[in-house]
Amino acid sequence: MELDFTDTPFDTKAIKPHEIEEIFEDPFSIRLLPDNERADGEARFYLVGKTIGSRGIFLAFWSNGKKARVVSARDLVAEEEAYYERKLAELK
């Protein structure tokens, strides 16, 4: 899947594009589907994962199956970090 980084609505200096790519490639990342439809008909997906350097990142993105556009990216909060670690422990 191709990532679209044109006109990103978040600071690409705080979270680098290569870190976002690492989250998409994290084999243990957790993809969450939206609960409900948005008024504009666009489906948003959420991804919780870690980079190669163990930085936890939360992403919100949309995808048409060929291209993904990240609309939000931030560091994980403590609860999300614990959730990721708990899910990872279940896989081991």
Distances (CA, A) of 31 to 6, 13, 49, 51, 91: 23, 24, 9, 15, 15
Q: What digits encode the pLDDT tens for the residues 21-49?
A: 999 999 999 998 876 666 666 678 999 99
Higher pLDDT, 65 or 62: 62
Quote the pLDDT of residue 40: 66
Q: What is the pLDDT of residue 35?
A: 63
Range of the domain at 35: 2-91
Q: How many domains is the chain built from?
A: 1
pLDDT band at 1 (very low <50, low <70, confident <90, very high): confident
What are the two backbone dihedrals, phi and then psi, of residue 83, each rounded to the nearest 5 degrees?
-60, -45
Q: Over range 51-60, report the average pLDDT.
A: 95
Q: What is the mean pLDDT of residues 54-75?
A: 90
Give me 57's structure tokens.
């990142």
pLDDT at 73 over 90: yes
pTM: 0.84
